[in-house]
Amino acid sequence: MQYTATVSRMKAAGAPPRLSSFAQWADRHFKWLLVAPAVLLILALSIYPLLFSLVVSFINYDFQVPGHGFVGLKNFERVVFDPVARWSLLLTAWLSGVSVAIEFVLGLLVALTMVRSFPGRGVIMSILIVPLFISPVIVGQAWTLLLQRPFGPTNYILTQLLGQEVTIGWMTEAPWLYVSLIIADVWQWTPFMFVILLAGLTAIPPNLYEAAELDGVNAWQAFWAITLPHLAPMMLLALTFRLLDAIRMFDTIFIMTGGGPGTRTYTASYYLYTVGFTQFHLSQATAGSWLFLIFTALVVTLLVRRLLKAEPV
Amino acid sequence: MNDHEKRDFQAGLEAEVDAFMRGETTRRTFITRFGQMTGMLAASGPILGMMTDWALAQQKLELADAGSPLGQAQVAAMKASMEGPADGSAFRAVEAAKAHSGVTLNMTYEAGLQALDPRNFSGPMWEQLTGMKSNVVELSNPDQYSKAVAEHIAGSGAYDVLDISPAWTPSLADGGVIAPLDDYIAKYMNPTDLEDYHPLYKALPTYKGKIWGFFDDGDMFALYYRKDIFEDPKMVEAYQAKFNAKLGPPKTWEEYAQIAQFITDQMAPNVYGAGHFRKAGSPGNQFDFLQQYRANGGKLFGDDMKAGLVSDAGVKTLQNMIAANAASIPGNNELDAVSLWAAFLTGKVAMIYSWPPSGRMAANYSQSATAINFIPQSQIAGKVGYAVVPGNPEHATGYNKALSADSANPEAAYLFMQWACSPPVSLARCMLPYALRDPYRISHFKSELYGALFPSAKEYLSNLNNSANVGLLDPIMPGAQDYFLSIDRMCTAVWAGADPKASLETAAAEWNETTDRLGVDSQKAFYTEFLKLPGATADNTVEKLGMAVTL
Spatial distance between the Cα atoms of B514 and B324, rounded to a whole number of angstroms: 30
Q: Give percent above pLDDT 90 in chain B.
A: 79
Sign of the Cα pseudo-torsion (A172, A178, A181, A183, in order): negative
Measured between beta carbons, which residues in chain A are less than 8 angstroms from residue B280? Answer: 257-262
Instruction: Return the HEC string of chain A.
Output: CHHHHHHHHHHHCCCCCCCCHHHHHHHHCHHHHHHHHHHHHHHHHHHHHHHHHHHHCCECCECCECCCCECCCHHHHHHHCCHHHHHHHHHHHHHHHHHHHHHHHHHHHHHHHHCCCCCCHHHHHHHHCHHHHCCHHHHHHHHHHHHCCCCCCHHHHHHHHHCCCCCCCCCCCCCHHHHHHHHHHHHHHHHHHHHHHHHHHHCCCHHHHHHHHHCCCCHHHHHHHHHHHHHHHHHHHHHHHHHHHHCCCCHHHHHHCCCCCCCCCCCHHHHHHHHHHHCCCHHHHHHHHHHHHHHHHHHHHHHHHHHHHCCCC
CATH number at residue A192: 1.10.3720.10
Task: Locate the chain B residue with the closest alpha carbon to A275.
Answer: B482
pLDDT, average across residues B110-139: 94
Per-residue pLDDT at B135 exceeds 80: yes
Spatial distance between the Cα atoms of A46 and A49, rounded to a whole number of angstroms: 6
pLDDT, average across residues B442-471: 97
Asked whether residue A52 is assigned to any structural domain, the reply reads no
Measured between beta carbons, which residues in chain A are less than 8 angstroms from residue B173? Answer: none
The CA-atom distances, in angstroms, between B261 and each of A172, B240, B327, B384 are: 21, 14, 4, 19
pLDDT in tens, B21-30: 444 444 444 4
A159 interfacial to chain B (CB closer than 8 Å) = no
Asked whether residue A32 is assigned to any structural domain, the reply reads no
- In this structure, of A27-36, A303-312, B166-175, B367-376, the range with the lowest mean pLDDT score is A303-312
Instruction: Give the residue among A264, A202, A208, A262 at the shortest CA–CA distance from A234.
Output: A202
Measured between beta carbons, which residues in chain B are less than 8 angstroms from residue A151? Answer: 331, 339, 342
Tell me how far apart the terminal alpha carbons of chain A are, to the nearest angstrom: 73
* pLDDT number for residue B3: 57
Per-residue pLDDT at B348 exceeds 50: yes
Are A264 and B339 within 8 A, CB to CB? no
A262 interfacial to chain B (CB closer than 8 Å) = yes
Per-residue pLDDT at B13 exceeds 80: no
For residues B146 and B321, the model is more confident at B321
A296 interfacial to chain B (CB closer than 8 Å) = no
Measured between beta carbons, which residues in chain B are less than 8 angstroms from residue A262? Answer: 280, 489-490, 492-493, 496, 498, 503
Q: A261 preceded by cis ω (within 30°)?
A: yes
- In this structure, of A7-21, A48-62, B171-185, B517-531, the range with the lowest mean pLDDT score is A7-21
Are A148 and B331 within 8 A, CB to CB? yes
Per-residue pLDDT at B425 exceeds 50: yes
> Could you say which of B329, B492, B518 has the minimum Cβ distance to residue A65?
B518
Are B485 and A260 within 8 A, CB to CB? no
> Could you say which of A150, A264, A274 has the minimum Cβ distance to residue B496?
A264
Per-residue pLDDT at B71 exceeds 60: yes
* pLDDT number for residue A274: 94
ipTM: 0.82
Asked whether residue A174 is assigned to any structural domain, the reply reads yes
Are A258 and B280 within 8 A, CB to CB? yes
Residue B549 three-state SS: coil
Size of interface A-B (CB pairs under 8 A): 91
Measured between beta carbons, which residues in chain B are less than 8 angstroms from residue A279? Answer: 481-482, 485
pLDDT, average across residues A88-98: 96
Per-residue pLDDT at B51 exceeds 70: no
Spatial distance between the Cα atoms of B272 and B260, rounded to a whole number of angstroms: 7
Are A148 and B479 within 8 A, CB to CB? no
Task: Locate the chain A residue with the closest alpha carbon to B518.
Answer: A65
Beta bridge partners of B404: B178
pLDDT, average across residues A269-279: 92
Radius of gyration of chain B (CA): 25
Are B517 and A277 within 8 A, CB to CB? no
Asked whether residue A231 is assigned to any structural domain, the reply reads yes
Backbone φ, ψ for residue B16 (5° rounding)? -65, -45
pLDDT in tens, A69-81: 999 999 999 999 9
Are B280 and A260 within 8 A, CB to CB? yes
B504 interfacial to chain A (CB closer than 8 Å) = no
* pLDDT number for residue B235: 97
Beta strand B133-139 pairing with B161-164? unpaired
Measured between beta carbons, which residues in chain A are less than 8 angstroms from residue B329? Answer: 150
* pLDDT number for residue A5: 63
Spatial distance between the Cα atoms of B237 and A277, rounded to a whole number of angstroms: 52
Radius of gyration of chain A (CA): 29
- Containing structural domain, residue A240: 78-309
Asked whether residue A127 is assigned to any structural domain, the reply reads yes
Are B488 and A260 within 8 A, CB to CB? yes
A151 interfacial to chain B (CB closer than 8 Å) = yes
Segment (H or E) for B53: helix B48-60
Beta strand B161-164 pairing with B394-395? unpaired
Measured between beta carbons, which residues in chain B are less than 8 angstroms from residue A87? Answer: none
Asked whether residue A219 is assigned to any structural domain, the reply reads yes
Question: What is the nearest CA distance from B493 to chain A, expressed in angstroms?
Answer: 4
- In this structure, of A163-167, B51-55, B151-155, the range with the lowest mean pLDDT score is B51-55
Tell me how far apart the terminal alpha carbons of chain B are, to the nearest angstrom: 56
Question: What is the nearest CA distance from A286 to chain B, expressed in angstroms?
Answer: 15
> Could you say which of A148, A260, A277 has the minimum Cβ distance to residue B146?
A277
A264 interfacial to chain B (CB closer than 8 Å) = yes
Q: How confident is the model at residue B372 (pLDDT cuts 50, 70, 90)?
A: confident
Question: Counting Cβ atoms within 10 Å, is residue B60 exposed (0-12), middle (13-18) or buried (19+)?
Answer: middle
Q: How confident is the model at residue B4 (pLDDT cuts 50, 70, 90)?
A: low
Cα angle value B124/B127/B133 (rounded, 5°): 95
Q: How confident is the model at residue B57 (pLDDT cuts 50, 70, 90)?
A: very low
Measured between beta carbons, which residues in chain B are less than 8 angstroms from residue A174? Answer: 496
Q: How confident is the model at residue A25 (pLDDT cuts 50, 70, 90)?
A: confident
Per-residue pLDDT at B176 exceeds 50: yes
Instruction: Return the HEC string of B412-426.
Output: HHHHHHHHHHCHHHH
Are A149 and B330 within 8 A, CB to CB? yes
Are A262 and B493 within 8 A, CB to CB? yes
* pLDDT number for residue A140: 95
A200 touches A231 (CB < 8 A): yes
Question: What is the nearest CA distance from A142 to chain B, expressed in angstroms?
Answer: 15
> Could you say which of A151, A172, A173 has the minimum Cβ distance to residue B339?
A151
Spatial distance between the Cα atoms of A34 and A46, rounded to a whole number of angstroms: 20
- The residues, any chain, with a CB within 8 Å of residue A130's CB and separated by 6 or more, are A191
Q: How confident is the model at residue B60 (pLDDT cuts 50, 70, 90)?
A: confident
Which domains are delineated in chain B? Answer: 3-60 (no CATH), 69-220+396-469 (3.40.190.10)
B520 interfacial to chain A (CB closer than 8 Å) = no
For residues A198 and B7, the model is more confident at A198
Q: What is the number of domains present in chain A? A: 1
> CA-based diameter of chain B, in Å?
85
* pLDDT number for residue B31: 45
Asked whether residue A292 is assigned to any structural domain, the reply reads yes
Task: Locate the chain A residue with the closest alpha carbon to B477.
Answer: A64
- State the Cα torsion B532-B410-B215-B525 to the nearest 10°: -20
pLDDT in tens, B72-116: 999 999 999 999 899 999 999 999 999 999 999 999 999 989 999
Task: Locate the chain B residue with the closest alpha carbon to A265.
Answer: B280
- State the Cα torsion B418-B420-B423-B424 to the nearest 10°: 130
Asked whether residue A61 is assigned to any structural domain, the reply reads no
What is the per-residue DSSP string for B461-512?
HHHHHHHHHT-EEPP-STTHHHHHHHHHHHHHHHHTT--HHHHHHHHHHHHH
For residues B47 and B388, the model is more confident at B388
pLDDT, average across residues B143-154: 88
pLDDT in tens, B206-228: 998 999 999 999 999 999 999 99
pLDDT in tens, A228-244: 999 999 999 999 999 99
pLDDT, average across residues B354-376: 92
Best residue of A176, A264, A278, A284 to probe chain B, by most B CBs closer than 10 Å: A278
Question: Counting Cβ atoms within 10 Å, is residue B254 exposed (0-12), middle (13-18) or buried (19+)?
Answer: middle
Are B489 and A260 within 8 A, CB to CB? yes
Spatial distance between the Cα atoms of B282 and B288, rounded to a whole number of angstroms: 11
Q: What is the pTM of this model?
A: 0.84
